[in-house]
Amino acid sequence: MKTTQPFSPAHFEFDRELIERLDGAGPRYTSYPTADRFTSNFSESDYLLRLQQRRIGANRRPLSLYVHIPFCNTVCFYCACNKIITKDKSKADIYLDHLEKEIQLVAAQLGCREKVIQLHFGGGTPTFLSDAQLERLMAMLSEHFEFMPEGEYSIEIDPRKVSRETMLKLAKFGFNRISVGVQDFEPAVQKAVNRIQSEEETRAVIEAGREAGIQSVSLDLIYGLPLQTRESMLRTLQKALELNPDRLALYNYAHLPTVFMPQRRIHEADLPSTSTKLDILQDAVKMLTDAGYVFIGMDHFAKPDDELAVALRQGRLQRNFQGYSTHADCDMLAFGVSAISKVGSSYCQNDKTLDGYYASLDAGKLPIVRGITLDNDDLLRRTIIQGLMCRFALSVEAIEEIFSINFAQYFNEEMPQIRAFQHQGLLSFDGDFLMVEPKGRFLIRNIAMLFDRHLRERQTHARYSKTI
């Protein structure tokens, strides 16, 4: 299965035999080092220092903001997010009280009302919040940050809980992108994962969003769910395409019931086989590309005129904790329970428990529980992994100049695996450029992993999802 543009970064080849042979688990590289490498040695004082360094830095770029809303009305059995199941909206008021404290503490370190180019509300279910609560949250953020008119402001939507009026208000609040959770349109699959969501609900939300002026609609689907078949997933994909999304994400379900308790309610006997999952993926890739969507990378597709597709063609694509982005080179301030921030050469994460998060803020402290400061080797490898994941190419000369290294000598330990991947047709390496070949693009996580020193040198208790 090949596209017709052999020199395009979107050109790929779905080599099923190679994919089956290299099947394995690994990080998604929304950061490097990955979050399982964060340690408790990084504390609130370290984060405050990073914020102060940003304050005195020259030519500060606009910020990216992330807000985690952990609440959901019901539990979806497949979910691996940090969430709290409740129908009590008053719990969100208490949460907003503490978000306000956190935002104030962080903003005080910045010294001015900084500009924002990107905002994302994730969860949980951000639209668990009432319209009044969403308005309150946006007012909190607007008090301390200046939202640029050309910015990208997105929110995750659960169509089962959102009215047309809410969609109109979201646009009024400034949101111009929505990510709509679908997962699967088949009633039997929905029942098996406890997420009953009609086609009509999904369509109504999307139509209301477009009526309100939302610029981009993204649909999230999952393959590998219980009772899915090759035929049923084709029906779901057809219905998804009829909704005409600007972007579409097709995630591989990672069944880790020992890690995520709700998944214990999924019957393993109902899960499709590895072979069936590959059938589904192969069918989906053909169907989406035949419909004109561009393969962005990993599990993401977009229309040719979408910003992600344009950024891919122009070599500007980035990755952060929200996935592929055009603004991931910004510092990202993250608010809420379990949220992860990136400032300068550091990452840090908030307390994952609501009690711990509240206790820290009630004591006037930021709820940082772990993080990491990147050393020069981390920065080098992050640059390489970002380049491979987002552009499928690496200028060795540029890397050598920026980091003052000899590439072949520095990565002497990695060279045998580079040569092995080259022999298998996944990549090419001539000493000046490292290029991911078309058949390597669906195995990009495998390629990125060979540059992950932490993965090679240190054990982790993390359970990674399958690379395909």
Question: 1, 282 in Cβ contact below 8 A?
Answer: yes
**What 8-state DSSP symbol labels residue 434?**
E
- In this structure, are residues 242 and 197 in contact, taking their beta carbons and an 8 Å threshold? no
**124 annotated ligand-binding residue:** yes
93 marked as binding residue: no
Residue 60 annotated as part of some ligand binding site = no
The answer to whether 78 is a known ligand-binding residue is yes
Give the integer Cα–Cα distance in Å for 450 and 381: 10
220 labeled part of a ligand binding site: yes
Q: Which residues of 107-126 are buried (b: 16+ CB within 10 A; e: fewer)?
A: bebbeeebebbbbbbbbbbb
Question: Was 340 annotated as part of a binding site?
Answer: yes
Please indicate if the annotation marks 5 as binding a ligand.
Answer: no
Q: Give me the residues paired with residue 178 across strands.
A: 155, 217
Tokens of 144: 């301390």
Is 420 annotated as belonging to a binding site? Answer: no
Give φ, ψ of 153 to 5 degrees. Answer: -125, 110
254 annotated among ligand-binding-site residues: yes
- Asked if residue 183 belongs to a known ligand binding site, the reply is yes
Burial 448-465 (b: 16+ CB within 10 A, else e): bbbbbebbeeeeeeeebb
102 is in an annotated binding site: no
User: Would the annotation count 76 as a binding residue?
Assistant: yes
Fill in the amino acid letter for 367. Answer: P
Tell me the β-bridge partners of 249: 220, 300
Q: At what angle do helices 396-403 and 376-391 cross, to 10 degrees?
A: 160
Q: Is 156 annotated as a binding residue?
A: yes
Burial of 57 (0-12, 13-18, 19+ CB in 10 A): exposed
Burial class (CB in 10 A: 0-12, 13-18, 19+), 261: exposed
Binding site feature residues: 66, 72, 76, 78-80, 123-125, 156, 183, 195, 220, 254, 340
Binding site feature residues for [4Fe-4S] cluster: 72, 76, 79
Binding site feature residues for S-adenosyl-L-methionine: 66, 78-80, 123-125, 156, 183, 195, 220, 254, 340
